[in-house]
Structure 1
Amino acid sequence: MRCTSRLIPFGFVILLLLLLLGHTLGSSCQTPEKTEGRCVHFSSCRLVLRHYAMYKEHMPPVIMRFLQRARCKPKNEGYHLCCELKDVIPANANSKLK
């Protein structure tokens, strides 16, 4: 009797882990200022939270244009933008938009 095992190829497992990790952390991107960033939900970016805390609904047009240029996903996936690495809030941190 022949025993056949159905092992998942190692390369596939690595690819799957990289995809899951990339989804959790956000994908790499370039900010409008040409610096390395991470594509994250706007609520995970300190820069956005600082601007919102300062201006609330009266954000200056220049900042609004910057945030629009920083978008890194289609609108139907929520508001994700390319956030500079130093401003990315870790997923395990308590971040609330105030």
Structure 2
Amino acid sequence: MQFDWPILSVLIWLPILGGVLMLLVGDRGVALGRWVALLTTAATFGISTLLWTNFDTTTAQMQFVEEREWITQFNSWYSLGVDGIAMPLILLT
């Protein structure tokens, strides 16, 4: 199953966004910081679970592939994908 939204990019950037929010919260609100951490972790886990439940174990091809042109002058591409080895590692994070 392919998603209409960049699920792998969200999995990469969501914890980074949570970390930035934690920096912004700082020492002002310990309870708020805990909620930000909990919601970021829960969202990351939920998206990882969604990825795992839609992963096709019968194929050896890359799945959930995202390819975007990045730096055109250097012909660089932003490419992400999941294979059978990467899937358990995604769940571990």
TM-score (norm 2): 0.30
Question: Which has the larger Rg?
Answer: 1
Structure ranking higher in helix proportion: 2
Q: TM-score, normalised by structure 1?
A: 0.29
